[in-house]
Amino acid sequence: MRALAATRVSVPRLQMSLLVLLTAATGFLASVALSAAGMQALWLRYPVCVLIAYGAFLGLVWIWRRHREWDLGVPGDGDAPSSQGPGNSEWQGSGGGSGGGGASASFDAPAAPVPLTAFDQVPPSVERPSLDDSLEADESLPVVMVMAVLGGALLAVFWVILIAPALLAELALDAALSAGLYRRLKRPPHGEHWLSTTLRHTGKPFVAATISLLIAGALMNLLVPDATSLGEFLAHYR
């Protein structure tokens, strides 16, 4: 019963979100450090940062598992509505002032010129944006491609957060079983099971993130060879 109780993890997605946030911070700091060291190629620096971040993630998961073991007594190692209101009141006021005998004259007089001016102004306003939009679409296509690939990396991160309950539950159960093994055999629990469990759950998302960032970095270096960061790449198309 105590082992089953130990497998209950409160707010697992919140805990995993914190681990992922710390992992992302590690990857960002690694990117800054590698860039300062001279590694400017995005296609190479981004995947290396993911590998460093994944190593930090595994370390954080190990710390989380050790914390669970310590709880079990195992010794460790050391506003639009307001704008619409006045508009409606103004139109209603003007309609009320023109009521009475002048209603027919005011209604017939503007009927002829309004459609003519409207039809004369519509064609130029429709044709010019269509040409500008086509040019802007051609210029923004590389940015859309890169952002789509980076979106794949973000989906991989959300995948890790989504599977957090199953992953943390297995790690908590492993910690509980290791605690029971320690009490019976009087030796430290074996540490391979938590690693294989973590790799089985998170290996594919991190591989997908690595491939996505590799492709994104290659596209940015191909389109803007002088770009050394995502900000410089986006600034080139502004």
Query: 């960032």: which residue's tokens?
Result: 213
Contact at 8 Å (CB) between 6 and 173? yes
What was the pLDDT predicted at 188? 47
Is the pLDDT assigned to residue 95 strictly greater than 60? no
End-to-end CA distance of the chain: 61
Which position has the higher pLDDT, 28 or 135? 28
Cα–Cα distance measured from residue 202 to residue 159, given in angstroms and rounded to the nearest whole number: 9
pLDDT range class, residue 178, cuts 50, 70, 90: low
User: What amino acid occupies position 112?
Assistant: A
Pair of tokens at residue 136: 């802007």
Task: Name the pTM for this structure.
Answer: 0.64
What is the average per-residue pLDDT within 189-212?
83
